[in-house]
């Protein structure tokens, strides 16, 4: 009986902790979604479940005559997709090199990456701004893409290298005995086995431009080049700006592409967990 009672208490506490964490996570999400359907502009009178729900704010966001939201959305998506593609490509080559080859400066390179990933991008804001000004990249999306891509390399290289180290080197040797070159081993042997970590890197690098405000605010000047973070800030920061429910609606729509990408890559996350369990 004591053992059974102990299991019941432990199970009850586990469910209590889980439910509490879910409530903490979901409450702000439900509140911001509910606020986006409130008819007013102020959040003070907003509720999680509005009695007179309206789509007015969403219609206003999609109205090109009164809002640049769709332009900001396209700008952000473009930056996210290009950053993700460049980051995954460069990180894959870099991590593979550090994982599979021994060369002069390898340890120092890894140590440099370790130090760089501890320094946030905004710590070098002045240097980034001056460099963008000298290269005539101010107020361009290319500047943001280069900064985001460069900032993603150190941490994600370390992350992917750790995963590639778990892939047996015997596979490389077998492929090499069959006449495969370095590039073919990388592309046809290692990369198919590294899909889970590639999915993680892709998701991380895709999310960053959506959530970053500081770098975009420093480098972008004209409204037609704004990203979503900067554009939404302008909605509530301008003089007499009190369109907080419109801001809420714009924030809700940001989650759509991130959720779609996560669901599309979810099977690779599960595969990675399974593979990790087998290898362990």
pTM listed for this prediction: 0.84
CATH 3.30.1490.20, applies to 68-279: no
Taking a C-beta distance cutoff of 8 angstroms, is the pair 39, 55 a contact?
no
- The whole-number pLDDT of residue 91 equals 94
- The whole-number pLDDT of residue 272 equals 52
pLDDT over 70, % of the chain = 90
Give tens-digit pLDDT for 14-56: 899 999 999 898 888 888 888 888 877 666 656 667 777 788 8
- The whole-number pLDDT of residue 75 equals 94
Q: At residue 211, does pLDDT exceed 90?
A: no
- Higher-scoring residue by pLDDT: 174, 6: 174
Mean pLDDT over 255-264 rounds to 89
Q: Which of 100-109, 116-125, 161-170, 245-254 has the lowest mean pLDDT?
A: 116-125
- The whole-number pLDDT of residue 42 equals 67
- The whole-number pLDDT of residue 89 equals 95
């Amino acid at each position: 009986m004591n053992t059974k009672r102990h299991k019941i208490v432990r199970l009850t506490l586990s469910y209590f902790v889980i439910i509490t964490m879910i409530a903490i996570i979901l409450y702000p999400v439900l509140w911001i979604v509910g606020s986006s359907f409130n008819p007013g502009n102020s959040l003070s009178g907003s509720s999680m479940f509005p009695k007179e729900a309206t789509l007015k704010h969403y219609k206003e966001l999609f109205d090109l005559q009164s809002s640049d939201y769709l332009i900001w959305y396209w700008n952000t998506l473009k930056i996210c997709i290009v950053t993700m593609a460049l980051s995954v490509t460069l990180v894959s080559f870099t991590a593979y090199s550090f994982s599979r080859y021994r060369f002069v400066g390898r340890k120092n390179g890894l140590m440099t990456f370790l130090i760089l990933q501890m320094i946030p991008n905004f710590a070098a804001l002045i240097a980034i701004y001056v460099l963008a000004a000298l290269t005539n990249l101010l107020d361009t999306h290319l500047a943001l893409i280069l900064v985001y891509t460069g900032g993603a390399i150190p941490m994600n290289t370390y992350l992917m290298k750790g995963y590639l180290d778990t892939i047996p080197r015997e596979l490389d040797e077998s492929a090499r005995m069959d006449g495969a070159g370095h590039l073919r081993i990388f592309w046809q042997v290692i990369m198919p086995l590294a899909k889970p970590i590639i999915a993680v890197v892709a998701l991380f690098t895709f999310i960053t431009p959506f959530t970053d405000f500081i770098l975009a605010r420093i480098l972008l000047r004209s409204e037609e080049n704004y990203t979503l973070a900067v554009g939404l800030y302008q909605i509530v920061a301008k003089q007499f700006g009190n369109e907080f429910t419109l801001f809420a609606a714009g924030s809700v729509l940001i989650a759509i592409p991130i959720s779609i990408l996560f669901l599309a890559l979810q099977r690779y996350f599960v595969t990675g967990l399974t593979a990790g369990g087998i290898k362990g």
